């Protein structure tokens, strides 16, 4: 009997490596699927409802800063004061797209961002080139 006790192994620990492998595979699957859904790659046929409320699709507002430090609001040349007036007239939920020339002064970019922050615009997109 004493010999058998020497050869017995106690299982005090659980091997978690297979559990970690499964969790990593599940994580990769979730992240991949979430990326496809966000980019709109997975086609989804949405159900219809008769009592649904049609929301107004808001057009984005574009602000341009060119290399000569000129600021344009929807293709209209403006100064910072006029830009602030025009931005204060639009809804805070309106999407604002900022396109700044790579050779423009950084101060112009910061000034436009400061106006947007002061007015509480949070739907801001900065367009860059890949």
Looking at per-residue pLDDT, the higher value among 43 and 61 belongs to: 61
Closest CA to 108 of 82, 73, 69: 69
pLDDT band at 22; cut points 50, 70, 90:
very high
Distances (CA, A) of 43 to 50, 52, 112: 22, 21, 37
> Is the confidence at residue 7, as pLDDT, over 90?
no
> Is the confidence at residue 96, as pLDDT, over 60?
yes
Average pLDDT over residues 2-27: 77
Instruction: Tell me the domain boundaries of the chain.
Output: 14-43, 61-126
Instruction: Give tens-digit pLDDT for 58-84.
Output: 678 888 888 888 888 888 888 889 888
Work out the number of other CB atoms within 10 angstroms of the CB of residue 72.
Answer: 15
Residue 24 has a pLDDT of 93
Residue 124 has a pLDDT of 81
pLDDT band at 26; cut points 50, 70, 90:
very high
CATH code of domain 61-126: 3.30.420.270
Residue 23 has a pLDDT of 92
> Is the confidence at residue 91, as pLDDT, over 60?
yes
């Amino acid at each position: 009997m004493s010999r058998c006790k020497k050869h017995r192994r106690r299982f005090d620990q659980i091997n978690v490596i297979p559990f970690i492998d499964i969790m990593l595979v599940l994580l990769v699957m979730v992240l991949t699927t979430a990326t496809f859904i966000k980019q709109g790659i997975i086609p989804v046929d949405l159900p219809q409802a008769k009592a649904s409320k049609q929301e107004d699709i808001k057009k984005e507002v574009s602000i341009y800063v060119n290399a000569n430090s000129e600021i344009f609001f929807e293709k209209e040349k403006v100064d910072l004061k006029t830009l602030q007036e025009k931005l204060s007239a639009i809804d805070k939920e309106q999407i604002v797209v900022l396109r700044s020339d790579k050779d423009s002064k950084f101060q112009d970019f910061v000034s436009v961002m400061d106006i947007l922050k002061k007015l509480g615009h949070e739907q801001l997109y900065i367009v860059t080139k890949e």
